[in-house]
Structure 1
């Protein structure tokens, strides 16, 4: 059409750009074409990445299984703006999707009591000559959705960032948290610093509606549980 100019994605409203839309509204808000456009990255002078993605999907009858059969060579030959690198990215992403369907989901470890924490963390912490502080994030069924090493320290302590723990818990939509660290000295009893940080995290959890279920201290072949000793209730 005379006088018509294609509007680049970067000139779209921010909420309509695929990457920005994904960050603001989540993956489920994107159409297949928008997801494919993210893989493509950029279109050509004649059409945006989204327009190009719609064309590719249309030729595959808007069926991702059909698109998964398309080769790198076919994509490069048929579509202006699709070079080898973009074609490889599309084919690789579709192959990952296929393999995901074939993968058996991981069984998440369920925490029912303090000895379950000990069984999970003892192999990681029992032989260390320095302290490590770990955090377990759990869902509503008390299954571990993520475990991460928050800090490493010297023989007598580590540095704990309450905000970082809560930030990760919120990001993972965790319902509860279990804290765990080791005492290389072999003394399982909590230090004053252990008690202070546990209470501080417990208070932060109450504000954010994230329960601190326990803090387990591992010392060689035995452990101390804040929950078992009723300290978290004080």
Structure 2
């Protein structure tokens, strides 16, 4: 003979069984969720690959230094901003010294370009031409600078210069040939004329008619971008970062 629970008791037992099952399922779901959160946390904490910032030095004379321009308006500063807007992670230091010649540049090169530099924009020679320094001296100094930077594993863009017309055609032919020759010798990119698009435009020059104003520098940066961007793609180095 079976013992029968009263109807209300049967209903209560069924409800208890359902509650127990739901509780067990809930615990299982919480356990799975906690494990998933833990795994996600581990993944978040793991280092993820990213591209390291490219460190650049603008090494030159007053054209690089930003002669008589407002703060942060020189070529290195405007170039960094333009590259940042185009998605490049770069840091550009201004190592321009007004009045510097290639001889002066060679003397200060090692301490002006710190360790960890990835790229140097080498812009010197304008003052050599203005002072009538023999082209062979200018070439020898630039050659030595390129060799030193290459020996340190630093990439270089050589920014060319043209001799002023008043120096005469013989001087100009010797001087102007320096930059293409050295770029080929050292296998570095050449930007043929640093003042391209600016040199003869009074609206883009200061009152001295020699140095670019703020708008002139902006024009120089725009013209320079097609030369530097392909090199930045080659210089990108993967690094790691973690939270």
Q: Given the two structures, how large is their TM-score scaled by the length of structure 2?
A: 0.29
Whose RCO is larger (CA < 8 A, sep 6+)? 2
Q: Given the two structures, how large is their TM-score scaled by the length of structure 1?
A: 0.30
Structure 1 or 2, whichever has the larger Rg, is 2
Looking at secondary structure, tell me which structure has more helix per residue: 2
